[in-house]
């Protein structure tokens, strides 16, 4: 099993970061503008990714496994790229030195493939977008995300 | 063992990206301005990291394990943070769709700790700096790197 892991610090209270991770409107502000569904344990959230020109790049669905206010959000992928199915996306929050620290993991990939490398870099870009959203009020969700390679 | 892996695509010929990875001047343009030593197989490169205010954050040394023009650069850490000693930093290059693709690995961490999460995010920032350096002529090496959390 392989995990993508990142750590980012956001100058904001836990509750503001948690809101950006635990609500549809919040996630739409930093990951993809096309976020729909119900963000409650046991329910499913749907995500679509487009090019700036409106072409569909991909889509995925996450079942909400757990939501602990100001502590963590845990999703499990139920639809999307084959490599993602069954993987876990977990955001754990702690407060430290005026920062809310997000300890991010996209865990339980069956193996590390080139697409994993791409996704690791891309998650870093989206965590920067999350930081920017919470600190400034404006993130860079898809389709306005920073493009990092020939895949996206 | 744990690996940090990333993939980034740079709109430039292989030779330009290889130069940014295989020369002291190149690396000083995207990782840390305080890069010294000899970038040749068997030799050692030294890196220092400072805050924008001039305070020393840390330092490390890498022995050059291999350099294959336009293909790869491979370093092994011989001094620095305890978790880094003995780990491998590898940049593999391939050309694809007008991009030079950098397949990056910081490999063979003894275990995944919170510092690994920080370093994974920070490597993504520095790979963006590498992309920016090669594509625009100006990177964001330390001490002008983007700060991501309360550690750096």
Encode pLDDT of A109-131 as tens digits: 999 999 999 999 999 999 999 99
CA angle B19, B23, B28 (to 5 degrees): 105
- Work out the average pLDDT over B44-67: 94
ipTM of the complex model: 0.96
Put simply, the answer to whether A97 touches B150 (Cβ < 8 Å) is yes
Quick one: pLDDT band at residue A22, thresholds 50, 70, 90?
A: very high
Rounded distance, CA B98 to CA B86, Å? 35
Is B71 a residue whose pLDDT tops 90? yes
Rounded distance, CA A70 to CA A3, Å? 23
Is A60 a residue whose pLDDT tops 90? yes
Examine residue B20 and state whether it is found in any structural domain, yes or no: yes
pLDDT for the residue numbered B19: 98
The mean predicted confidence, pLDDT, of chain B is 97
Rounded distance, CA B117 to CA A103, Å? 7
Examine residue B150 and state whether it is found in any structural domain, yes or no: no
Examine residue A64 and state whether it is found in any structural domain, yes or no: yes
Is A134 a residue whose pLDDT tops 90? yes
* Parent domain of A42: 2-50+58-136
B116 φ/ψ angles, rounded to the nearest 5 degrees: -65, -40
Quick one: pLDDT band at residue A1, thresholds 50, 70, 90?
A: confident
Examine residue A39 and state whether it is found in any structural domain, yes or no: yes
Put simply, the answer to whether A6 touches B117 (Cβ < 8 Å) is yes
The mean predicted confidence, pLDDT, of chain A is 97
Which of B124, B130, B146 to mutate to test binding with chain A, by most A CBs within 10 Å of its CB?
A: B124
Chain B residues with CB inside 8 Å of A150's CB?
9, 96-99, 101
Which of A7, A92, A109 to mutate to test binding with chain B, by most B CBs within 10 Å of its CB?
A: A7
Rounded distance, CA A54 to CA A17, Å? 29
B107 φ/ψ angles, rounded to the nearest 5 degrees: -110, 160
Examine residue B151 and state whether it is found in any structural domain, yes or no: no
- Work out the average pLDDT over B52-72: 95
Rounded distance, CA B105 to CA B119, Å? 12
Examine residue B147 and state whether it is found in any structural domain, yes or no: no
Strands B99-109 and B88-96: antiparallel
pLDDT for the residue numbered B125: 98
Quick one: pLDDT band at residue B82, thresholds 50, 70, 90?
A: very high
Quick one: pLDDT band at residue A52, thresholds 50, 70, 90?
A: confident
Q: Which residues pair with B37 in a beta bridge?
A: B45
Quick one: pLDDT band at residue A54, thresholds 50, 70, 90?
A: confident
Q: Any idea what the CATH number is for the domain that residue A112 is in?
A: 3.30.530.20
pLDDT for the residue numbered A75: 98
Chain A residues with CB inside 8 Å of B101's CB?
149-150
Examine residue B90 and state whether it is found in any structural domain, yes or no: yes
Examine residue A36 and state whether it is found in any structural domain, yes or no: yes
pLDDT digits (tens, 9 = 90+) for B108-132: 999 999 999 999 999 999 999 999 9
Interface of A with B (CB under 8 A): 2-9, 96-99, 101, 103-104, 112, 114, 116-118, 120-121, 124-125, 127-128, 131, 146, 148-151
Q: Give me the number of domains chain B comprises.
A: 1
Residue among B117, B75, B33 at smallest CA distance from A123: B117
pLDDT for the residue numbered A24: 98
pLDDT digits (tens, 9 = 90+) for B4-25: 999 999 999 999 999 999 999 9
pLDDT for the residue numbered A51: 87
- pTM attached to this predicted model: 0.97
pLDDT for the residue numbered B51: 87
């Amino acid at each position: 099993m392989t995990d993508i892991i990142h750590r980012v610090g956001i100058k904001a209270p836990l509750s503001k970061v948690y809101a950006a991770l635990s609500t549809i409107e919040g996630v739409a502000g930093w990951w993809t503008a096309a976020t729909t569904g119900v963000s409650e344990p046991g329910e499913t959230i749907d995500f679509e990714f487009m090019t700036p020109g409106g072409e569909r790049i991909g889509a995925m669905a996450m079942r909400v496994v757990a939501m602990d206010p100001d502590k963590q959000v845990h999703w499990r992928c139920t639809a999307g790229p084959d490599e993602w199915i069954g993987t876990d996306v977990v955001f754990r929050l702690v407060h430290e030195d005026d920062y809310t620290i997000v300890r991010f993991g996209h865990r339980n990939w069956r193996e590390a493939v080139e697409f994993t490398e791409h996704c690791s870099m891309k998650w870093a870009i989206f965590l920067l977008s999350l930081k920017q959203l919470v600190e400034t009020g404006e993130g860079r969700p898809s389709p306005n995300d920073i493009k990092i390679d020939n895949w996206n």
